[in-house]
Structure 1
Amino acid sequence: MSENVGFAGQIGPEHIAQVAEKGFKSVMNNRPDLEGGTEQPTSAQIEEAARAAGLDYVFLPVVAGQITEVDVRTFANRFNELPKPVLMFCRTGNRSNNLYQIA
C-alpha cells in the first residue's frame, strides 16, 4: 500500500461509499466474474455503485496464479490513466498486490 494504491479482498456495491469516504478516486477489479460462485457481486454491479459515487472504475480480471505479460502491460496502462489513489481488489487482495508489484 502506498499513497497511490490500496489493496482489498472482495468488495461489493455496499462497500463503495466507504471506499469513497477513505479518499479513493478509482476502483480496479482484478477478480473474474463468478470466480467465487453466484454469491460474488458482478463487475457491473460494483461499477454501477462506483460510478454513482463519482469514482472511476476498471474491470481487469486476472486469473489467480496466471498473471501474464499482457495483464501486466494492460494494468500499467490503465493504472497510469486512473485518478489516484486507486483501490485494487480481488478475492484476497494478493493477486492485485502481485500485479502491482510485477508492473
Structure 2
Amino acid sequence: MWPFSSSTEPKDKKVNFKNLDKDYAVSGQILPAQIPAIAAAGFKSIVCARPDNEDHGQPSFDEVAREAEKAGLQIVHVPVSGMVGQGAFMKFEQAMEQMPKPVLAYCRSGGRAASLYTMLKRA
C-alpha cells in the first residue's frame, strides 16, 4: 500500500528507509506529516527524485519542502523520470557536495534515489 493512498494523514508517521551507507538512505514516497520523524531520525537533508504529478494523490515537492524547511532540513528536487539524465545527475552530485549529511532520498519506491547514489559512487 502506498503511504499516501487513503488519506492525507498517515496512520503511522514512521518512515521506512534503507541505509546505503552512514550518510545516505533511501525510501519510498514520504508525506509532509512524516518530516518531524525524519528530522528526529537524525537526517539533515532530503533529496526528492520524484517528479510531481507522477501518481494521483502524491504530495507535491513544494508541500514536502515547506515542512522540511520548517524542521530545519535542507531539501532539493532532482526529478528523475525513466533513465537518469546528465542534468539530473549533475544536480544530484552538486547537492551531495553541499548538503549536510545524513541525507534521506526518496522517490516512489526508493529505486531512482538509490540509482542516483550508485551512479555518484561510480563516478
Band of TM-score, shorter chain: over 0.9
Q: Percent identity?
A: 36
Structure with greater contact order relative to length (CA < 8 Å, sep ≥ 6):
1
Q: TM-score, normalised by structure 2?
A: 0.79
- Per the TM alignment, residue 69 of structure 1 is displaced from its structure 2 partner at its CA by 2.0
Q: 1:45 aligns with which of 60, 63, 68?
A: 63
Q: In 2, Cα distance between the equivalents of 1:46 and 1:28?
A: 11
Which residue is equivalent to 1:88?
Answer: 105
Q: TM-score, normalised by structure 1?
A: 0.94
Mapping 1:14-29, distance limit 5 Å: 14-29=33-48
Structure 1 or 2: more helix by fraction: 1
Larger Rg: 2
Letter in structure 2 aligned against 1:76: E
Helix, strand or coil at the partner of 2:115: helix
Determine whether 1:102 maps to 2:110: no
Which residue is equivalent to 1:68?
Answer: 85
Which residue is equivalent to 2:12?
Answer: none
Which residue is equivalent to 1:30?
Answer: 49
Q: In 2, Cα distance between the equivalents of 1:32 and 1:18?
A: 23
Helix, strand or coil at the partner of 1:83: coil
Determine whether 1:56 maps to 2:45: no
State the superposition RMSD in angstroms: 0.8
List alignment gaps of at least 5 residues for structure 1.
Answer: none
Which residue is equivalent to 1:8?
Answer: 27
Structure 1 residue runs of 4 or more that deviate by more than 6 Å after TM superposition: none
